[in-house]
Amino acid sequence: MELWNAGIIELLADTDPSLLMAILTKVGLWAKVAIGIGLVIFVHELGHFVAAKSCGVKCEKFYVGFDVPINIGPIKLPRTLGKFTWGETEYGLGIIPLGGYVKMLGQDDDPRKAAEENERIKLANKDATPGDETAPTYTLDPRSFQAKSVLQRMFIISAGVIVNVITAVMFAAAAFWYGVPYTPAIVGSTQPGDPAWLAGIQPGSQVVSVGSIENNDQLQFRDMRSEILEHGLDDKTKPVSFTVRKDGEDTAYQLIPTLRYDPKKVAVAIGVVPQLSTTLDSEIAVYPNSAAAEVVDSSFRGATAIAMDGTELPKNGDEIYLTPITQQMRLKASEPIELTFLLTDKSEKTVSLPPQQLKSLGGTFAVGPITGLVQGGNAEKAGLKPGDQIIRFDGQDQLSAFALRDLAYERDSEVEIVVQRAKEDGEPEELTFTVAPDAVSSTPEASGIDLALDRYGIAYTASNRLASVDEGGQLAAAFEPGDLITRVTVSWADDAQKKELSGFIPPKMLNDSWDIDDFYTVPMLVANLQMLPTGTEIRVLGAKGAAADGKVIDTVVKLKAESDQYWPERGLRFETVKRIHRAESLAAAFSLGYNEAVHRGKGVLRFLKMLVTGRLKADLLGGPVAIFTIAGSHAAEGIPRLLMFLTFLSINLAILNFLPIPALDGGHMVFLIAEAVLGRPVDEEWQARLTMVGVLMLLGLMAFAFYNDIARLVG
């Protein structure tokens, strides 16, 4: 034992302290999650237990987790992690942490043991007269579940759900009393071409109502997003009500969410991006292979930018929004920008951010057709229409998708725009429009579906057709202007390079090929190429000419940095604006807790409705792995956020447990209601059959959810 201890001490001494701290932090995090989820299960079973005891029912077992026998070949695993007997009840932790149960005399959820259990509670009738065939030959054990009245059994069955609802309110109340950190529903930017952008919603606007959530000036961004998602999946043709507050004035909108499909997921959104602060991420302050990575070290983690080019940044109360910095990065894309940061140790440090050279495949992408116009904006008033093809902007006709965007950002006066529009007979015609600038609304990053001429309220696509290729470059050896690029595959130098970029770029680019389509667009591709190191080998597939069915082109190029083109983002990773929602009194905390529980309950019911009606894909179901993963992410944000997740989990457990499925509490309640109506218990054989069907359904559902968990982990 002493030798073992000495080995452990030596191992710890040789371990990187930061690694050791990370391990201990992770262990502590999962301990919180396990305790929290275990608590939700415990209080549910405690509700059944206390109700049963109060009605005089004998409780033989009280378990969190299931103590089923598990044999792996000749190896027999222990059924419990620990147990003890106190009074007439055995208490324990089962080896399978997927729920819990209270075993009452005369009640067994295993339909195979129902008949045996029914016989066990029968006692000989001592008062029966010999020879009297009409007298019952037995009585039920008075301490058995079946011997109790229908109302008592209803109380016992529903007690777990009732306690879960009560504790859900208490969890949320405790969280609000302590203070819940959240990202407010403030519009940082809008995605070009999406509903919010088309409506002209401006950065800095605060969302105070969305869908069923009304007049909430502390609306969380995640709740807004969930409401939009549920609404869009429930009825994709019906607009969602949306109210924003800007400069003290409320404006109401009716927006139809955009649905975009991918083989593995569906995206529902109105195109709103949360407001970013000037505080750098506390763990990873810069993106890999960026201009910022060259000058910003680990001391900047969690630092807050307070000045730019020697001028103090404007404040919104106690908050500093990132918008002025992003606008300056766009205007001075080819110039260095000086930022002064307040570090976490309260010292100040100034850094000069060099410009970020654009990384490209060795060519430029062509301008695609106009996809949308800001409603009531100058471009719409001038007569431009979706489908128009821009061929000349302010006298320049050698246009590429990203160069056009940059060119428009530099203009602040009327411009002449020439477009090509298809006539009724299909023939194209050229039309000229004069358009005055509107307000800037979207971010300079081109990571969305479309691009935009923000000042002029025009959204357009970036075509996968090449507008130009660099003369003498690797791409020019196989491609020429007018050819299509259809697929891009990165050849990684090693696994370490992939690991460094994991979490920054989509798995599609990381592990597979990027097939350009309506979901994985050219702007998204170009934005993700900026994450890669210069010189990365990339296989490029395409087609000759403008038709995708042309001759296939296949070549390999090295990612290059363009000397005369720049990417506006320098690679800094800023956090979203964070606020604390803290109740002013205990009564207010419970009021907020009640509202939170009701809101989560409505969300669960909507989810079930969409699942049953087929409006929601079944692969969105999550099992224990998903629950622990989500709980872990909430726990990492602090105890209040974990408590909020436990509120959701408690309500979820309450509603799902009360579904009218045999083997669940709701199924038992249906049998009891039938007994109350008929005046006699439902036939035991039928109960056993229906319960077996319910058990098989639940096992199948659990297996499917667990399969989804594994599929998410590997895919």
Q: In which band, very low, low, confident or very high, does the pLDDT at 98 lie, cut at 50, 70 and 90? A: confident
pLDDT at position 9, please? Answer: 40
294 vs 117 pLDDT, higher one: 294
- Residues 352 and 438 placed together within one structural domain of the fold: no
Other Cβ atoms less than 10 A from the Cβ of 493: the count is 12
Mean pLDDT over 374-380 rounds to 93
Most confident segment among 151-155, 231-235, 544-548? 151-155
Mean pLDDT over 548-552 rounds to 74
Q: Is the pLDDT of residue 574 over 80?
A: yes
Q: Is 112 exposed, middle or buried (0-12, 13-18, 19+ CB in 10 A)?
A: exposed
pLDDT at position 535, please? Answer: 94
Mean pLDDT over 648-675 rounds to 87
Q: Out of 22-26, 311-315, 425-429, 659-663, pick the least confident.
A: 22-26
pLDDT at position 391, please? Answer: 95
Give the distance, in angstroms, between the CA of residue 664 and the centroid of all CA atoms in the same chain: 29
For residues 302, 306, 308, 311, the Cα torsion angle rounded to the nearest 10 degrees is -170
For 402, half-sphere exposure in the C-beta direction (CA atoms, 13 angstrom radius) is 27
- Residues 287 and 270 placed together within one structural domain of the fold: no
pLDDT at position 680, please? Answer: 84
- Residues 382 and 481 placed together within one structural domain of the fold: yes
- Cα–Cα distance measured from residue 387 to residue 385, given in angstroms and rounded to the nearest whole number: 6
Residue 128 DSSP one-character state? P
- In the listed set 248, 274, 300, which residue is the last one of a domain according to the structure? 274
Q: Looking at the domain assignment, is residue 254 inside a domain?
A: yes
* 3-state class (DSSP) for residue 352: strand
Mean pLDDT over 400-415 rounds to 89
- Cα–Cα distance measured from residue 75 to residue 430, given in angstroms and rounded to the nearest whole number: 80
Q: Out of 121-130, 208-217, 258-267, 556-565, pick the least confident.
A: 121-130
Please report, as a single letter, which amino acid is at residue 55: C
Q: Is the pLDDT of residue 425 over 60?
A: yes
- Cα–Cα distance measured from residue 5 to residue 642, given in angstroms and rounded to the nearest whole number: 35
**Cβ–Cβ < 8 Å for 481, 399:** no
Render pLDDT for 554-573 as a digit per residue (tens, 0 to 9): 999 999 999 889 998 899 99
- Residues 475 and 552 placed together within one structural domain of the fold: yes
- Residues 523 and 424 placed together within one structural domain of the fold: yes
- Residues 381 and 402 placed together within one structural domain of the fold: yes
Q: Is the pLDDT of residue 689 over 60?
A: yes
Range of the structural domain that residue 456 is part of: 362-558
- Residues 431 and 513 placed together within one structural domain of the fold: yes
- Cα–Cα distance measured from residue 333 to residue 352, given in angstroms and rounded to the nearest whole number: 13
> Which phi and psi (to 5°) does residue 693 adopt?
-60, -45
- Residues 347 and 366 placed together within one structural domain of the fold: no
CATH assignment at residue 499 = 2.30.42.10
Q: Looking at the domain assignment, is residue 522 inside a domain?
A: yes
pLDDT at position 697, please? Answer: 77
Q: Looking at the domain assignment, is residue 126 inside a domain?
A: no
- Cα–Cα distance measured from residue 345 to residue 23, given in angstroms and rounded to the nearest whole number: 25
Q: Looking at the domain assignment, is residue 313 inside a domain?
A: yes
Bridge partners (DSSP) of residue 273 are 189
Mean pLDDT over 502-509 rounds to 84
- Cα–Cα distance measured from residue 54 to residue 596, given in angstroms and rounded to the nearest whole number: 31
- In the listed set 558, 589, 615, which residue is the last one of a domain according to the structure? 558
547 vs 232 pLDDT, higher one: 232
Query: How is residue 271 written in tokens?
Result: 């195109």
Q: In which band, very low, low, confident or very high, does the pLDDT at 130 lie, cut at 50, 70 and 90? A: low
Q: Is the pLDDT of residue 104 over 50?
A: yes
Q: Looking at the domain assignment, is residue 153 inside a domain?
A: no
Q: Out of 174-188, 320-334, 474-488, 503-517, pick the least confident.
A: 503-517
pLDDT at position 13, please? Answer: 45
pTM equals: 0.80
pLDDT at position 123, please? Answer: 62
Q: Is the pLDDT of residue 441 over 70?
A: no
- Residues 417 and 528 placed together within one structural domain of the fold: yes
Q: Is 14 exposed, middle or buried (0-12, 13-18, 19+ CB in 10 A)?
A: exposed
- Can you list the pairs that 471-478 forms with residues at least 24 positions away whose Cβ atoms lie under 8 Å? 473/362, 473/363, 473/557, 473/560, 474/362, 474/555, 474/556, 474/557, 474/558, 475/361, 475/362, 475/363, 475/540, 475/555, 475/557, 476/362, 476/363, 477/555, 478/540, 478/553, 478/554, 478/555
Mean pLDDT over 12-21 rounds to 48
**Cβ–Cβ < 8 Å for 195, 614:** no
> Which phi and psi (to 5°) does residue 521 adopt?
-90, 170
Give the distance, in angstroms, between the CA of residue 59 and the centroid of all CA atoms in the same chain: 41
For 8, half-sphere exposure in the C-beta direction (CA atoms, 13 angstrom radius) is 5
Return the closest-CA partner of residue 48 out of 38, 62, 36, 35. 62
Return the closest-CA partner of residue 157 out of 40, 86, 57. 57
Bridge partners (DSSP) of residue 66 are 96
pLDDT at position 254, please? Answer: 93
- Cα–Cα distance measured from residue 326 to residue 322, given in angstroms and rounded to the nearest whole number: 6
Q: In which band, very low, low, confident or very high, does the pLDDT at 133 lie, cut at 50, 70 and 90? A: low
- Residues 326 and 226 placed together within one structural domain of the fold: no
For 389, half-sphere exposure in the C-beta direction (CA atoms, 13 angstrom radius) is 15
Please report, as a single letter, which amino acid is at residue 610: M
Return the closest-CA partner of residue 640 out of 584, 585, 583. 583
- Cα–Cα distance measured from residue 482 to residue 466, given in angstroms and rounded to the nearest whole number: 5
Render pLDDT for 622-652 as a digit per residue (tens, 0 to 9): 666 666 677 667 666 788 888 988 998 899 8
pLDDT at position 171, please? Answer: 94
Q: Out of 47-61, 134-148, 222-236, 310-324, pick the least confident.
A: 134-148
pLDDT at position 445, please? Answer: 46
Angle between the 684-714 and 665-678 helix axes, to the nearest 10 degrees?
160
Percent over 70 (pLDDT), the chain: 84
- Cα–Cα distance measured from residue 601 to residue 616, given in angstroms and rounded to the nearest whole number: 18
Q: Looking at the domain assignment, is residue 245 inside a domain?
A: yes
Sign of CA dihedral 285, 291, 297, 299: negative
Q: In which band, very low, low, confident or very high, does the pLDDT at 48 lie, cut at 50, 70 and 90? A: very high
**Cβ–Cβ < 8 Å for 470, 362:** yes
Q: Is the pLDDT of residue 403 over 70?
A: yes
pLDDT at position 12, please? Answer: 41
**Domain count within the chain:** 3
Sole residue written with tokens 């390999």 = 556
**Cβ–Cβ < 8 Å for 383, 374:** no
464 vs 112 pLDDT, higher one: 464
pLDDT at position 126, please? Answer: 52
Percent over 90 (pLDDT), the chain: 45
- Cα–Cα distance measured from residue 337 to residue 345, given in angstroms and rounded to the nearest whole number: 23
Ordered alpha helix ranges (H), 318-414:
323-331, 378-382, 401-409
pLDDT at position 482, please? Answer: 93
pLDDT at position 116, please? Answer: 66
**Cβ–Cβ < 8 Å for 304, 281:** no
412 vs 379 pLDDT, higher one: 379
Render pLDDT for 588-619 as a digit per residue (tens, 0 to 9): 999 999 999 998 898 888 878 877 777 666 66
Q: Is the pLDDT of residue 422 over 50?
A: yes
Q: Is the pLDDT of residue 112 over 80?
A: no
* 3-state class (DSSP) for residue 492: coil
Sole residue written with tokens 């949308």 = 372
Q: Is the pLDDT of residue 266 over 60?
A: no
676 vs 710 pLDDT, higher one: 676
Q: Looking at the domain assignment, is residue 704 inside a domain?
A: no
- Residues 210 and 332 placed together within one structural domain of the fold: no
Please report, as a single letter, which amino acid is at residue 539: R
- In the listed set 558, 585, 611, which residue is the last one of a domain according to the structure? 558
Other Cβ atoms less than 10 A from the Cβ of 527: the count is 17
Average predicted confidence (pLDDT) for the chain: 84
Sign of CA dihedral 50, 51, 55, 58: negative
All residues at 6 or more sequence positions from 86 whose CB lies less than 8 Å from its CB, including other chains: none
> Which phi and psi (to 5°) does residue 676 adopt?
-65, -35
Q: Looking at the domain assignment, is residue 123 inside a domain?
A: no
Q: In which band, very low, low, confident or very high, does the pLDDT at 11 lie, cut at 50, 70 and 90? A: very low
∠ CA 74-78-82, nearest 5°, is: 170
- Residues 202 and 215 placed together within one structural domain of the fold: yes
Q: Is the pLDDT of residue 351 over 90?
A: yes
Q: In which band, very low, low, confident or very high, does the pLDDT at 714 lie, cut at 50, 70 and 90? A: low
Kind of pairing between the strands at 574-576 and 276-280: antiparallel
